[in-house]
Amino acid sequence: MHYGSALAKEMILEHCQGSNEESAPSLSASSIKITDITQDGESITFAITCQKSSSSDGVCVFRTYEDFDWLQQSLFSQEDVPGLQGIIFPPLPGKLLPSSQQTPAKVLKQLGFLSLGDEYKIYCEALELYLQQVAAHTILSKSKALQSFLTSSESPGKQRVKKGIFNRLSQAMEEIRKEGHKDVDEFFKSERDRNTYLSALYKSSTEKFLDVVLTKQRLAVACGHFSTSLHLCVNQENPAAVAFSKICLKLSDIIEVVKINNEKTSANDISTLGLALDLESRYQEAKREMLFRRTCKLVELETANRNSERAKPNKKATMEGVLKATQKEFNSVSSVAKQEIEVYQRARVSVLRDFLVGWCEKQLNTARESADLISQHLDACREFDV
């Protein structure tokens, strides 16, 4: 079985076209697929296939969520990559809880739309999209960790990851005062304000749309019970009740159509607009983390500047060296961050548009199917001789 989402491929293309094309990734991003899953007790294993850009030969590996987490941490820990803190890292979906700890409410709160659907379908689509986005990224696609993750027969999840910028970031996160530090660049100041507004907006929209989907699912269950109950009203032994029994059976068929319609429309909601809202919410959080990393670097630069100004003559040269290095790193982070934001803005508009179009098309098709069936049942009702 294949869990891919064709609607999301536009983000891959946009990111590839909008990024700096220094060298093409050796792996074809669009060829990365999660083709199957297996569950053994508390462990879920994902079968991942891909192929190299210059070859038609395919590779299949088996990975657990711990392997995905290892990959993400490895991407965070590339200390030799200039401007790494300026990257908007593709957001990795949260981990599925072990079945022994799963309750519907707990999983729903943790994963939202990704917890819905049959056989982890939506969750697999989110993981697949994460890998495609990493492989399409001009900088991240060069990571040896990504190559190992997608091609090595051995599971990389147990390997130790070097402590990198995100371990230092965890310490910086404790300094809440940096979160509201005034920016010196109007572009980034505007982006921080925009991110704060959009994060709250998408979170609220996701929660409300999730409520709509869950309501449709509850209506489908209720319609199923009602349809079954109507069959209990059928009485073929009493001649006086035959006509009433026919009406009950026909009404049961109509309610069954309503039930199926609610099931299909909720499934459409989940696989299109629901997945889009979840993806955008996680990306807004990833963008917020990037902007915060840059703010931390700005605070570091301002501190280095003050230290240089106040340094005694015997330490002046050293402090100026530190200032120069910090200034260079800050400029690199800011440059990468600005490019990332520009690419992301183009990609998100295209992706959301495609998801909305897909959502409308699926719902229209479902509505036509349901309308045709209900029309047939209503025509049959008119022929009743009661």
What is the rounded average pLDDT of the residues 24-35? Answer: 77
Do 124 and 198 share a domain, yes or no? no
Domains in the chain, number: 2
What is the rounded average pLDDT of the residues 187-201? Answer: 94
Choosing from 139, 170, 201, the residue where a domain stops is 170
Do 375 and 228 share a domain, yes or no? yes
Do 266 and 382 share a domain, yes or no? yes
pLDDT tens, position by position, 69-111: 999 999 998 888 889 999 999 999 988 776 655 667 777 877 8
What is the reported pLDDT for 6? 45
What is the reported pLDDT for 105? 74
**90 contacts 137 by C-beta, under 8 angstroms:** yes
pLDDT tens, position by position, 319-367: 889 999 999 999 999 999 999 999 999 888 888 999 999 999 999 999 9
Do 160 and 195 share a domain, yes or no? no
254, part of any domain? yes
Burial label for 333, CB within 10 Å (0-12, 13-18, 19+), is buried
Determine the structural domain holding residue 254 and report its residue range. Answer: 190-386
18, part of any domain? yes
Q: From the centroid of its chain, how far is CA 260?
A: 27
Do 256 and 209 share a domain, yes or no? yes
Cα separation values, 233 from 136, 138, 226, 238, 255, Å: 60, 65, 11, 12, 15
Do 297 and 379 share a domain, yes or no? yes
User: Which string of b and e fits 142-174 if b means at least 16 CB within 10 Å?
Assistant: ebebbbbbbeeeebbeeeebeebbbeeeeebee
184, part of any domain? no
199, part of any domain? yes
Higher pLDDT, 14 or 241: 241
Q: Residue 350's closest CA among 18, 72, 45, 2? A: 18
pLDDT classification of 25: cutoffs 50, 70, 90: very low
Question: Could you write out the three-class secondary structure of 70-114?
Answer: HHHHHHHCCCCCCCHHHCCCCCCCCCCCCHHHCCHHHHHHHHHHH
d(CA 281, CA 285): 6
Do 151 and 226 share a domain, yes or no? no
181, part of any domain? no
pLDDT classification of 9: cutoffs 50, 70, 90: very low
What is the rounded average pLDDT of the residues 222-244? Answer: 80
Percent of the chain clearing pLDDT 90 (strictly above): 49
179, part of any domain? no
- Here the tokens at position 381 are 């009702």
Do 150 and 245 share a domain, yes or no? no
Do 227 and 358 share a domain, yes or no? yes
CATH code for the domain of 229: 1.20.1270.60
Do 136 and 230 share a domain, yes or no? no
Do 233 and 100 share a domain, yes or no? no
Q: Which of 38-47, 71-80, 112-121 has the highest mean pLDDT?
A: 71-80
Residue type, 379: D
What is the rounded average pLDDT of the residues 235-256? Answer: 80
